[in-house]
Amino acid sequence: MPNTELCLEALSALSGCNVESTTGASQLTPQDFVNVVALKEFYKQEGFKELEYPSLGTLSLQDDDLYSAPPALTGPTESLKTTVKINPGDFFHPDFNYDFTHIKDGNTTFMRGNEQYFRPCGWDRAALRVIKKYDDGDSWLGTGKDAWPVSYHGQDMDGSLGVILTHGGSPSEEPKFLEAAAASLMTKETRGRGVYSTPDIKMAETKCKMFTSKTDGKKYKVVLQNRINPNKRRKCQRESVWLIYIPDDYNDIKTRTLVQESIRPYGLLVKQV
């Protein structure tokens, strides 16, 4: 497992906050954390400059890149970021850590729910403490048919990756597929407003956050490994792009509730560059 300090730095890079260790109660649960990361990305794409989140207050959407960038001579500094305290003992679950750094799956196929699971080979996973945290039990986290598919959060994924498919057809049926895609572009409900993720770790890696560790001076990539509610997810014209669609008339509370019902985190992935 990545050491605790490196994990805190990775969480800081993802959230744009200063994430620090505490022996008291955590300000955020793993679910809160994925909510913050997803909502900051969504509201930033919508053109907002701030996000209000319970227990944290106002979060800036303008300084997300400062953690990995050289200090600027002017403008906001890291000291102005929101500080988030988490207790590693109740946030991480070391029993389920898994080091995929030197693993190659080759042609082996893994499934989660009814979707193929592309394991994060090349990455080191720190497990998050999410067992027995949800009212509907833990089957979402399993390997059977009731399990939710695995998705990875890529920081810069947005609607430019593709519209939602609401008509028949597949890329192998090109005329029908293109007709469906064109029709989708003309429909308000399929423009792709919402939170994006991907089942493809390779795509997530191209969109992920990078940071330089203060602990060892090395550069790392960081990605969140989640499970996504198959009943809430919408597929886009690219098979490797999934969307939690957020209707235009949803207020902040409805938006946060939808994200919480749709995406559940269970792993923090880091990879040395």
Rounded to the nearest integer, the mean pLDDT of the chain is 84
pLDDT of res. 241: 87
Distance (Å, rounded) from C-alpha 204 to C-alpha 199?
Answer: 8
Residue 234: pLDDT over 60? yes
CA distance 224 to 120: 11
Report percent pLDDT > 70 for the chain: 79
Q: How far apart are CA 242 and CA 198, in angstroms?
A: 6
Tell me the two tokens of residue 220: 């790392």
DSSP 139: G
Lowest-pLDDT range of 3-7, 41-45, 163-167, 191-195: 163-167
pTM recorded for the entire structure: 0.85
Cβ proximity of 56 and 27 under 8 Å: yes
The tally of domains found in the chain comes to 1
Q: For 72, list phi and psi in degrees, rounded to 5.
A: -85, 155
> What was the pLDDT predicted at 198?
93
Q: Tokens standing for 266? A: 């269970």
Query: Residue 163: its pLDDT value, please?
Result: 56
* Residue carrying the six token digits 């998705």: 151
Q: How many CA atoms lie within 13 A of 80 on its CB side?
A: 12
φ and ψ at 2, to 5 degrees? -60, 145
Burial of 182 (0-12, 13-18, 19+ CB in 10 A): exposed
Burial of 231 from C-beta contacts in 10 A (0-12 / 13-18 / 19+): exposed
Q: How sure is the predictor about 170, in pLDDT bands with cuts at 50, 70 and 90?
A: very low
Contacts for 150 with CB less than 8 Å, ≥ 6 apart: 112, 115, 117, 118, 199, 225, 226, 227, 228
Residue 159 has pLDDT above 60, yes or no: no
Q: In which domain, by residue range, is 166 found?
A: 4-272
Closest Cα partner for 156 from 214, 225, 205? 205
Categorize the per-residue pLDDT at 72 as very low, low, confident or very high, splitting at 50, 70 and 90: very low
User: Rounded to 5 degrees, what are φ and ψ at 218?
Assistant: -90, 160
Q: Residue 124 — φ and ψ, nearest 5°?
A: -110, 125
What are the residues whose beta carbons fall under 8 Å from the beta carbon of 273, sequence distance 6 or more? 210, 218, 219, 220, 221
For residue 172, pLDDT over 50 is answered with: no
Between 269 and 160, residue with greater pLDDT: 269
- Burial track 90-106 (b if 16+ CB lie within 10 A, e otherwise): ebbbeebebebeeeeee
Beta strands 111-112 and 115-116, pairing class = antiparallel
- pLDDT for 176: 53
How far is the CA of 54 from the CAs of 16, 90, 158, 252, in angstroms?
Answer: 16, 19, 25, 11
Per-residue pLDDT at 28 exceeds 70 = yes
Mean pLDDT within 133-150: 95
**pLDDT band at 240, cuts 50/70/90?**
confident
Question: According to the per-residue pLDDT averaged within each range, which of 44-58, 116-130, 181-195 is highest?
Answer: 116-130
Q: What integer pLDDT is reported at residue 81 of this predicted model? A: 83
